[in-house]
Amino acid sequence: MTITEMLNKVQYVTDTEGTRQAVIVDLAIWEELIEHLRDIENETRWDELFNQHPEVLEQLAEEARADRAAGRTRELDPDQL
């Protein structure tokens, strides 16, 4: 379920004037939202690490190229993963 679909399933608690005051979320949806937020946080951390130390990513790329040139790699078939 997408985040938009999840948000469309929440219920709002309103005051007497109709102003939203709180949200009621099904527990399964809440847990899925938490998982999405954790994924976003993890992606952000990776981005920050590579932005702070771009030389690390370049070093990994160089090692991968050297491994390929030395025949220490093999092609992956996505259908076999």
Tens-place pLDDT, residues 14-71? 999 999 999 999 999 999 999 999 999 999 988 888 888 888 888 989 999 999 999 9
Contact yes or no for 33/3 (Cβ under 8 A): yes
Mean pLDDT of 1-24: 95
pLDDT value of residue 77? 86
Estimate to the nearest angstrom the gap between the alpha carbon of 47 and the chain centroid: 11
Cα angle, residue 21 at apex, residues 15 and 25 outer, rounded to 5°: 120
pLDDT value of residue 10? 95
Cα angle, residue 23 at apex, residues 4 and 43 outer, rounded to 5°: 45
